[in-house]
Amino acid sequence: MSKVRDYFFIDIEHLGDKKLFPYHLFVYNPNSDSTSPFLKANTPLVKDKLDFLEFILSKGGRLAVDKRQKNTFLTTHSYKEDDIEDLQEKVHHLEEERERKIKELEKQTQILGEVKFKEELLGAIEDNDFSALIERVRLETDTFSVRVSHTVSLASYLCGILLREDNFINRIVAVSYYLAKNCDMKDEETLGDLICAAFFSHLGITQLDYKLGSKPHLEYNKAELKEYKKHPNLSHHLLTKSGVELSDRCMNIIFQHHERNDGSGYPMYKKGEHIDQLSLILGAVSHIFEYSQGKVTGTTTDLKTVIRNLKNKTFTAGLEFEFGDKIYESLTTIINTESNSDNAA
């Protein structure tokens, strides 16, 4: 008796008119879920044996060949793997589902057109409604392959579950996603790392005193600021302890998202090339939304004004600029905050 997975099934018709085979034949018994020898290699398949084989097959048995003799079988009968159903590459049901979603996305794109990030973002800012942009990210990430990495699969899953409403975190995820694509970072592995990092980057804040989360950053005293700066380490620690499988790059993005290009960030005070570009993207987008919502100064500021000040490098307390030339140029190129009314004025 042998393990079924060591064999592949064939039909009796696959033997053709041959009566002598340079490989062994086996029969599978579905009642015992086992495989047994039937005809040794180079032994003639005489009429009695053939009649017995047909009887076995009529009772639900299967004819099988050892996988180690696959090439011998294929060569003997001039078959290709695609000719034998049991040798055909199986399509995982998740891959079939992915193909369906890709077709759905293509239909949506035909109706709505390709995403024009600049126009979509300016419209979202103007209306203070990022629902459409968030939904497009959900649809795109829903087509991510299930075979790239755990992180990519998790990113797709999180987007499918969480990108269902317009909120602070989802805005950061969506804008970071499209900003990365605008910086020519478009592969699923890169985007998956960024998405998971965006969802988990402030996880460590849950371990801090509640008042730090509700107090404007500029109002922190030295002790509170020191405590707040621990959250990247705490996020990293919690994720490590949780056992969730994230890529090294994703973990680094989470750890580095408060680093700044000039070395003024934390926790490692890294500079320039020593900081992952995805960390700077996440850091820039997070900072813009945090500043706009009053998490930095205690006063909400129109998002358009925040971006205009960032673009013009207008000094405002708590507003940071040091995200590197590539990120800065991408932001200022995409986001033209000068409307017609501004120009008329």
The full set of domain ranges for the chain reads: 4-87, 93-338
Give 171 or 146, the one with higher predicted confidence: 171
pLDDT at residue 196 tops 50: yes
Q: How confident is the model at residue 179 (pLDDT cuts 50, 70, 90)?
A: very high
pLDDT digits (tens, 9 = 90+) for 12-26: 999 999 999 999 999
Tell me the CA distances in angstroms from 70 to 27, 77, 96, one per residue in order. Answer: 16, 11, 27
pLDDT digits (tens, 9 = 90+) for 137-167: 999 999 998 888 999 999 999 999 999 999 9
- The two structure tokens encoding residue 224: 């509170």
The whole model's pTM is what?
A: 0.71
pLDDT at residue 221 tops 70: yes
Q: How many CB atoms lie within 10 A of CB 126?
A: 11
pLDDT on residue 2:
55
pLDDT at residue 37 tops 80: yes
pLDDT on residue 92:
65
pLDDT over 70, % of the chain:
94
Give mean pLDDT, residues 65-90: 92
Second-level CATH architecture of 93-338 = Orthogonal Bundle (1.10)
Q: Report the relative pairing of strands 7-10 and 25-29 from DSSP bridges.
A: unpaired
Could you tell me which of 253, 260, 254 has the C-alpha nearest to residue 232?
254
Give mean pLDDT, residues 263-274: 91
Contact 201, 282 (CB under 8 A): yes
